[in-house]
Every structure is written in C-alpha cells, then in structure tokens.
C-alpha cells in the first residue's frame, strides 16, 4: 500500500529542495549582511507559552500533545514566543540592541489552501531594545533588501504600512471601549479581505452606532498621512503615531526604498500584541495572501515574565513567496544550476581503482566530482553524455590509451570541447 504525505505538507525531492535551499540561503545572506545573528529553538514548547501570546483559542490552531510525563506541549506554530523566552532567560547578559534572525520549520493545524500549508518555513528578523522607528525602518529595509535582490520591483510588490497605536488611539477617541479593541482589531484586519458590504454589516453589529461606523470607515479609507490630518483633531494624542509614521517614511526615503512603501491604515495585523508600526507585503495585484508582515511589540517580553523592553520584527513564509516568484518567472532562471567541477570517465573496461583515486583527491580538495557507474562497460561515449547531462564543467578521461608512459590525463572542457594532456602530478599541483 502506498502511503501519501500528510495533507498540507510537502515532499522535497532534489528539484524542490534546490528551490527551498535557494530561498533559505537568500534569507540568511540578507540577514547577515544587515547585521542580524542567527538563532533557533526547539521544535516543540510548552503549550501555555503560545496561550500567553495568543489566548486559549490558539490550541485549536496548532498541533498539541501530552507527553509521557503529563506535560502539555505544542509543535511551534511560530517562533516569536521562543524568541521572547530565550531573550528573557539571558536578558542581563545580552548586548543591545539584540538583532536576531531565524528560519524555523513551523506547523499549524489549518485548512490547507493556496499559499498556506500546515508545514512551512518562515524567515524571522527581530530588533529588541531600540525604542525608535529607525528600528522599524531597518526591519522594513532588510525585508525589501531581500525581495529586490531576487528580482521583485516596486511594480511587483508593495509594503503597506500603518500603526496599531494610531488605530487604538483613534478608536478610543471616538468612544470605542478598550474591552472591544481586540475583537475589533480582528474584524478591521479583514477590511480588504471580505466584500465591503459584508464588512460594513459585521462592523455595525459590533459597534451598533452608525455614526461611529462611518468614522471608522472614513479612517480605514484614508490613503495618505496628509489626509490623516483631516481625520484626527489637532492636539489629540493620536498625532504622536502620525509623527512617528512621517519620520519612518523619511527614513525609508533616505534608505532608497520609499517607492516600495505606502501608507495604508487598513493594515491592522490580527494579533493583539502589536503596539506601534505594523506592515504587510503584498503583490501589487493583491491576488495572493500577504507575502510577509510584522510590526512593533513593546509589551511582549513583559508578557513572558521579562522586563518592559521594546521590540520590532517581521515574518515571511516560503509558500506565497515561491508562488509569486513562479508567476513572475523569476524562480527557474535564478536557481543555481546543478553542476560538477569534474566528471571522471574511463575509456576501458577495467581500472576503476584509478577513477576512485582521482575522484577522491578532487573531492578532498573541495571540488565537486563524480563518475558513472557505467564505467565498467567501457563505453566512453555514454560516460561523456552523462557528464554533459550532469552539467560538468570538465571531464577527465583516463585509461591506458590516454595515460600512457607519461601518466597523463585528458582534460576536456565540456563547453568548448577542447582537450589537453596534463601529467597527473602536475594536474593536482595546479589545483
């Protein structure tokens, strides 16, 4: 009986593994060049750790288990709680700012759909200990730095930026009670994800006052920070986050990524722990789920028993990103070709030991080298064809006919077809 993979998971055959490695290697390279250090944690944690951050309902959205000691555990659906736990454990010894990144394998017990699987990889970058929107700007810059490095241009993607503090203060100013905020955030996060009439109907059910509903809809429809000045009252506390956003966009302008970014008050981020700047990255056509997103979380470490320390970060999954790159035709042409430095062929039916010796020496010197198991047939043409199929740069042909008394190798350049005779000792000395 053939056993299929679990729904919502992926098998990574060599071709798919090459894609995964290329994406992950790109994430790591960009993180390192932007000054982030890599960390990781266990693939499972105590269930209560995720409940602290997201509430008891999170148990239905992840894979949980009870171990033999009766402890309630969960396979990590995200790594931010692990980050908070790890930082809190060594908070007094860690130099600040803390700039960390990770590429964890995550699992969520969700209904699989386009761009959303039960198992996926996610790039996370975080800056902890900087109470300045410059840190938010750096997180956004690092995100865009990666996306443009893989060929995505401003006409392809858009970073939509807002502020949870701006929204919270505005809602409070128009009379929304604090106890309503969490449920209202979850709804407002769907502003552009469900039909407008449906959204307005649900909003009216939650708020009940039609005049207040209109104010919220007017706020969500603003498309510039200048317009926000007309929505809020001069002198109101809400102006502080507006100023923060204006400073943020000035940083993004200096960093030369402003053309990727736009102010969009409909960006809410459903999770309750965000406290300041929030953002999400979308394809311009908005045909896919968010490629990634993040924001400021100034209370998270305190929620996990640590001190009150500011933080900001971003998470990006591999699923939507891969779909977008395929649709844009940017994936196949950027994947590094599988290529050998040397393919060793034998022109006779015996003497395999010589092949193994040369291949082993090449590999020990750091070269990608291989041979064909068909060498025993002595069919040089088939071996050369295999060398070509495996995209070898060079083919080394050995055998008494070639090595002769001078112990020489035939080195064939597979691109030009040119060949040269090189004495074995000299060949390895030149390497």
Q: What is the 3-state secondary structure (H, E, C) of 122-161?
A: EEEEEEECCCCHHHHHHHHHHHHHHHHHCCCCCCCEEEEE
For residue 31, the model assigns a pLDDT of: 98
For residue 55, the model assigns a pLDDT of: 62
Q: What is the mean pLDDT of residues 397-407?
A: 69
CA dihedral 379, 381, 386, 392 (to 10 degrees): 120
- H/E run at residue 124: strand 119-128
What are the sequence ranges of the domains in the chain? 14-41+79-327, 342-430
Whether 72 shows a pLDDT value over 60: the answer reads yes
Q: Give the span between the Cα atoms of 371 and 395, in whole angstroms.
A: 10
Whether the CB-CB separation of 62 and 108 falls below 8 Å is answered with yes
Whether the CB-CB separation of 170 and 232 falls below 8 Å is answered with yes
Task: Express each pLDDT in 319-373 by its tens digit.
Answer: 999 999 999 999 998 999 899 999 999 887 665 678 889 999 999 999 999 999 8
Average pLDDT, the chain: 90
Task: Express each pLDDT in 248-271 by its tens digit.
Answer: 999 999 999 999 999 999 999 866
Whether 12 shows a pLDDT value over 70: the answer reads yes
Q: What is the mean pLDDT of residues 154-158?
A: 97
Q: Give the span between the Cα atoms of 174 and 212, in whole angstroms.
A: 7
Q: Give the span between the Cα atoms of 292 and 300, in whole angstroms.
A: 20
Confidence of residue 209 (pLDDT cuts 50, 70, 90): confident
For residue 350, the model assigns a pLDDT of: 60
Which among 3, 80, 19 has a CA at the least distance from the CA of 331? 19
Q: What is the mean pLDDT of residues 187-195?
A: 88
Task: Express each pLDDT in 114-151 by its tens digit.
Answer: 988 999 999 999 999 999 999 999 999 999 999 999 99
Q: Does residue 256 come out as left (phi exceeding 0), alpha (psi in the -120 to 50 range) or beta?
A: left
For residue 370, the model assigns a pLDDT of: 96
For residue 110, the model assigns a pLDDT of: 85
Q: What is the mean pLDDT of residues 96-104?
A: 97
Percent of the chain with pLDDT over 70: 92
* Pick among 3.30.460.10, 3.30.365.10, 3.30.930.10, 3.40.50.2300: CATH of 14-41+79-327: 3.30.930.10
Tokens of 73: 């555990």
Whether 82 shows a pLDDT value over 90: the answer reads yes
Whether the CB-CB separation of 20 and 56 falls below 8 Å is answered with no
For residue 347, the model assigns a pLDDT of: 80
| The model's pTM | 0.90
Instruction: Tell the burial category of 12 from Cβ atoms under 10 Å away from its Cβ (0-12, 13-18, 19+).
Output: exposed
For residue 178, the model assigns a pLDDT of: 80
Q: Give the span between the Cα atoms of 111 and 382, in whole angstroms.
A: 49
Whether 281 shows a pLDDT value over 80: the answer reads yes
Confidence of residue 239 (pLDDT cuts 50, 70, 90): low
Q: Give the span between the Cα atoms of 232 and 224, in whole angstroms.
A: 13
For residue 235, the model assigns a pLDDT of: 54
Q: What is the mean pLDDT of residues 68-77?
A: 95
For residue 46, the model assigns a pLDDT of: 94
Whether the CB-CB separation of 77 and 58 falls below 8 Å is answered with yes
CA distances from 10 to 17, 82, 112 (A): 10, 25, 11
Which among 181, 261, 259, 263 has a CA at the least distance from the CA of 228? 263
Tokens of 374: 């068909």
For residue 403, the model assigns a pLDDT of: 60
Beta bridge partners of 35: none
What secondary structure letter does DSSP report for 298? S
For residue 234, the model assigns a pLDDT of: 45
* Pick among 3.30.930.10, 3.40.50.800, 1.10.275.10, 2.120.10.10: CATH of 342-430: 3.40.50.800
């Amino acid at each position: 009986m053939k056993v299929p993979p679990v729904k919502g998971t992926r098998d990574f055959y060599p071709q798919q593994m090459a894609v995964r490695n290329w994406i992950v290697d790109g994430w790591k390279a960009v993180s390192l060049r932007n000054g982030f250090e890599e960390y990781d944690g266990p693939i499972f944690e105590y269930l209560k750790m995720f409940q602290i951050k997201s509430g008891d309902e999170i148990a239905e959205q992840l894979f949980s288990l009870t171990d033999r000691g009766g402890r309630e555990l969960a396979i990590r659906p995200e790594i931010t709680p692990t980050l908070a736990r790890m930082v809190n454990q060594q908070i007094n010894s860690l130099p600040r700012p803390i700039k960390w990144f990770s590429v964890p394998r995550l699992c969520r017990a969700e209904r699989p759909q386009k761009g959303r699987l039960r198992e996926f990889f996610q790039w996370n970058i975080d800056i902890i200990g900087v109470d300045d929107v410059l840190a938010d700007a750096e997180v956004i810059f690092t995100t865009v730095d990666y996306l443009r490095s893989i060929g995505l241009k401003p006409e392809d993607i858009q970073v939509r930026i807002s502020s949870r503090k701006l929204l919270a203060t505005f809602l409070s100013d128009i009379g929304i009670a604090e106890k309503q905020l969490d449920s209202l955030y979850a709804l407002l996060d769907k502003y552009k994800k469900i039909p407008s009439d449906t959204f307005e109907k649900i909003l009216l059910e939650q708020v009940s006052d039609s005049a207040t509903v209109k104010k919220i809809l007017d706020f969500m429809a603003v498309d510039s920070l200048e317009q926000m000045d007309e929505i809020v009252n001069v002198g109101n506390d809400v102006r502080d986050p507006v100023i923060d956003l204006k400073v943020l966009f000035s940083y993004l302008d200096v960093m030369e990524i402003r053309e990727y970014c736009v102010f969009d008050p409909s960006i809410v981020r459903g999770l309750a722990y965000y406290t300041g700047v929030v953002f999400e990255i979308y394809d311009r056509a908005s045909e896919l789920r968010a490629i990634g997103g993040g924001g400021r979380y100034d209370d998270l470490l305190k929620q996990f028993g640590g001190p009150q320390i500011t933080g900001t970060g971003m998470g990006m999954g591999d699923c939507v990103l891969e779909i977008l790159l395929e649709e844009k035709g940017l994936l196949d042409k950027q994947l590094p070709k599988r290529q050998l430095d040397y393919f060793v062929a034998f022109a006779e039916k015996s003497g395999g030991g010589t092949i193994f010796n040369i291949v082993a020496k090449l590999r020990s010197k750091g070269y990608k080298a291989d041979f064909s198991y068909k060498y025993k047939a002595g069919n040089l043409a088939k071996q050369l064809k295999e060398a070509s199929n495996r995209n070898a740069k060079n083919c080394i042909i050995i055998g008494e006919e070639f090595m002769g008394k001078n112990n020489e190798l035939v080195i064939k350049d597979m691109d030009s077809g040119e060949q040269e005779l090189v004495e074995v000792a000299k060949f390895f000395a030149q390497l």
